[in-house]
Each structure stands twice: as C-alpha cells, then as structure tokens.
C-alpha cells in the first residue's frame, strides 16, 4: 500500500509563504516569524520537506523553497508509474482469462457429464467469492444459517452487513437458539437498523445464501470446509422456494425478549424434539436438526421422559406416538 503524504494545513501554508519570501530559512527564523516554539517550527519544516516543497540549501543547513510544480513532479511521478504498471498487469490478467473462456466453453460442451455444481474448498477464496456475489447483488439476498453459529458464519454475516447499506433487501433465517447468542443478537441489531429482516424457527433447514435468485451458495455436508456454488436456474429456484416456505413459518427475531415469547419459543423447540423422537432420530441428529448443543438437547429429552413417566428412550417414543395419534384422531373428529 502506498504511504499517504501529509495534507497541507493552514500553518503549513503560512510557513511555506515565509520560506518563499525569504528564499531560505531555518527553524529558529520560522519560529520567530510565526511566533511559535522551535519544536513546532521544526515539525512544520519537516512536513513541508515531506511534500518536497522545501529542500536543503547550498550550505546543507538551511532550507530553500521549491515550486509546487517541482514538488508535484517529485511526488506524483513514482505513483503514476506504479499505477500504470498495475493497470498493465490488470489488463494482462483480464486478457489472459478472457482468452480461456472459449476453451472452457468448448471443453464443457465435450464433457460426457457436466458438473452440476462448483466446489470451492479454499477458505480465502470462499470469502472473496461470497463478498463478490454479495457486492454484485441488486435486489435480494436470502441467507439461512442453521445450528450453533460458528466464527465463519458470523464473519459471513458481517460481510452481508457491509454490503447491505443502501443495497439489496436482506432476509436472514436463524434457528431459535440464535436468540440467546450474544454475537448473533448484536449482528441482528445492526442488520435491522439497516432495514434487513431476521426470523427464527425451531425446524431444521439448509445452510445457504441465494443472490438475486440466480446463484446459490451451499454449505458442504458434514460440516466440511468449503462451499458449493450452484448456478443452475431450476435448482436455484427450488432452493429459494424452500427458503420462502421456511421463512413464512418462522418468527421475527425479537430485539427485546419477553417472558411470553420465551415460553412460546421453548414450546416450539420441545414440539420439534417430540416429532423427531417419534421418528426415531438419535440425540445427536435431533440436536443438529434443531440447532442445539447435544447437552442441551439431552436435557430437554430427559425432561420430556420424566414428564411422560417413560422408562427409557424407546418407551418415551412409544408414549409420544400414542399421544400424537389420539390428538390427531380428536382433531379429525
């Protein structure tokens, strides 16, 4: 990064005027002229030298004034040469990559099976790609972040915040457990202040980002590092519709908690656990689906078993199944 030179201040203008009038000057003379301490006068002279507006006189002790044009040439010519070199490098890279587009198109057409998605596993590349997609979005970003929030997911949300101001509509979907996560709550406050919408649900869903309903970014299965980038129109449309269905059944993220909201959310979480218990899912699968830690999930299951009077987990599933069957029969009648 190129170092930024000092900016011209009113004191520097006065000091420069004195130097031009006297042809050469030192710190003592400048201090006496402007009525300031020697150390302040020395600082002003150093700043003017950095801008190439002063240079050593013939005796090597005093300083003589240079013209602004001379200073401009000394300061800007190296920067201009560096800028031109960088622009040449950019143009060269752009031309090289453009020359590969026909190669890619031809090779893709000859493949027996076209790759349905693009896998990106390199962390820095993932971050750059997500930032570029977010920056190029014009209308809407859909973001769903299930489970306990990782550092990567929080960084990803920060990136969306950066591109949200004055930009596309942002809808962010969390699970209920995010309501009790301090970092998530802080992010939500920033997002909502910028006009974003955030909701939570007890149910599980896919971790993904959808940009303008034309490109989707999915997390890899099993929590593997990296992403899958999907550009197929039909697949992206199906993912966006899945997001919409989950969104409509979700609750707005509360910026202030009330006891009624907490009880209601807790009931939804327990109902989701019951459905998964009846389906025979393991504790670990239930925890992952709902977005709870394994220990918290097991505590909920233990409380349910105690309330049912169940002898073991299998017995609890049977009793819950009976209850659900009776409830459905009563509702049908």
pLDDT in tens, 305-328: 777 777 776 777 667 667 666 666
Q: Are 26 and 63 in contact (CB under 8 A)?
A: yes
From 167-176, 241-250, 254-263, the region with the lowest mean pLDDT = 254-263
Helix residue ranges, H only, the chain = 10-22, 27-34, 38-50, 68-110, 123-135, 151-164, 182-193, 233-248, 259-278, 283-290, 294-308, 313-332
> Could you give the CA distance from residue 86 to residue 2 in angstroms, rounded to a whole number?
13
Query: CA-based diameter of the chain, in Å?
Result: 108
Q: Which two tokens stand for residue 244?
A: 């919409």
* Mean of pLDDT values over 235-255: 87
Please report the pLDDT score of residue 235 as a whole number: 92
> Could you give the CA distance from residue 244 to residue 8 in angstroms, rounded to a whole number?
55
pLDDT in tens, 62-84: 898 888 888 888 888 888 888 88
Share of the chain above pLDDT 90, in %: 7
Q: Are 45 and 29 in contact (CB under 8 A)?
A: no
Same-fold call for 10-66 versus 259-332: yes
What's the order of all strands across the beta sheet hosting 63-65?
24-25, 63-65, 54-56
Strand partners, 140: 169
- Whole-model pTM: value is 0.52
Q: Which CATH architecture has domain 10-66?
A: Orthogonal Bundle (1.10)
Report helix, strand or coil for 174.
strand
Report helix, strand or coil for 281.
coil
Geometric angle at alpha carbon 214, from 211 and 217, rounded to 5°:
55
> Could you give the CA distance from residue 305 to residue 287 in angstroms, rounded to a whole number?
16
> Could you give the CA distance from residue 56 to residue 23 in angstroms, rounded to a whole number?
11
Cα distances (Å, whole numbers) of residue 134 to 125, 160, 190, 191, 237: 14, 7, 17, 15, 18
Does the pLDDT of residue 200 top 80, yes or no? yes
CATH of domain 259-332: 1.10.10.10
* Mean of pLDDT values over 201-230: 84
* N-terminal to C-terminal alpha carbon distance within the chain: 74
Could you tell me the fold of the domain covering 118-252? Endonuclease; Chain A (3.30.870)
Cα distances (Å, whole numbers) of residue 241 to 145, 154, 234, 235: 16, 24, 11, 10
Please report the pLDDT score of residue 260 as a whole number: 46
Residue 40: partners with Cβ closer than 8 Å, 6 or more residues away:
31
Going by the DSSP 8-state scheme, the letter that residue 224 receives in this structure is: -
In this predicted model, which residue has the larger pLDDT, 118 or 6? 118
Report helix, strand or coil for 19.
helix
Strand partners, 173: 144, 199
Please report the pLDDT score of residue 157 as a whole number: 58
The residue extents of the domains of the chain are 10-66, 118-252, 259-332
Phi/psi at 281 (5° precision): -75, 150
Does the pLDDT of residue 189 top 60, yes or no? yes
């Amino acid at each position: 990064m190129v170092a930024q030179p000092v900016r011209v201040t009113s004191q520097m203008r006065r000091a420069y005027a004195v130097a031009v009038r006297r042809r050469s000057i030192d710190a003592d003379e400048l201090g006496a002229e402007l009525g300031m301490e020697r150390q302040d006068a020395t600082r002003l002279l150093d700043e003017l030298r950095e801008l190439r507006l002063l240079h050593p006189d013939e005796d090597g002790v005093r300083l003589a004034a240079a013209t602004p044009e001379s200073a401009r040439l000394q300061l800007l010519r190296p920067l201009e040469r560096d800028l031109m070199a960088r622009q040449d490098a950019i143009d060269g890279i752009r031309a090289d990559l453009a020359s590969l587009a026909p190669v890619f198109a031809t090779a893709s057409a000859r493949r027996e099976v076209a790759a349905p998605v693009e896998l990106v596993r390199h962390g820095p590349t993932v971050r750059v790609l997500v930032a570029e997609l977010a920056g190029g979005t014009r209308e809407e970003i859909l973001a769903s972040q299930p489970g306990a929030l990782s550092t990567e997911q929080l960084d990803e949300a920060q990136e969306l915040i950066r591109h949200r101001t004055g930009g596309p509509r942002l809808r962010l979907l969390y699970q209920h457990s995010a309501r009790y996560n301090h970092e998530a709550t802080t992010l939500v406050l920033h997002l909502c202040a910028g006009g974003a919408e955030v909701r939570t649900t007890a149910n599980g869903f896919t971790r993904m980002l959808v940009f303008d309903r034309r490109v989707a970014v999915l997390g890899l299965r099993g929590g593997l590092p990296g992403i899958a980038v999907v550009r197929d129109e039909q697949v992206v449309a199906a993912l966006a519709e899945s997001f919409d269905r989950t969104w409509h059944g979700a609750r707005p993220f509360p910026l202030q908690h009330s006891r009624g909201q907490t009880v209601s959310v807790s009931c939804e979480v327990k109902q989701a656990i019951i459905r998964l218990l009846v389906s025979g899912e393991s504790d670990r699968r239930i925890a992952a689906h709902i977005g709870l830690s394994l220990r918290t999930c097991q505590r909920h299951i233990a409380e349910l078993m105690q309330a049912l009077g169940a002898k073991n987990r299998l017995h609890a599933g049977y009793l819950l199944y009976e209850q659900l069957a009776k409830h459905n029969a009563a509702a049908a009648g």
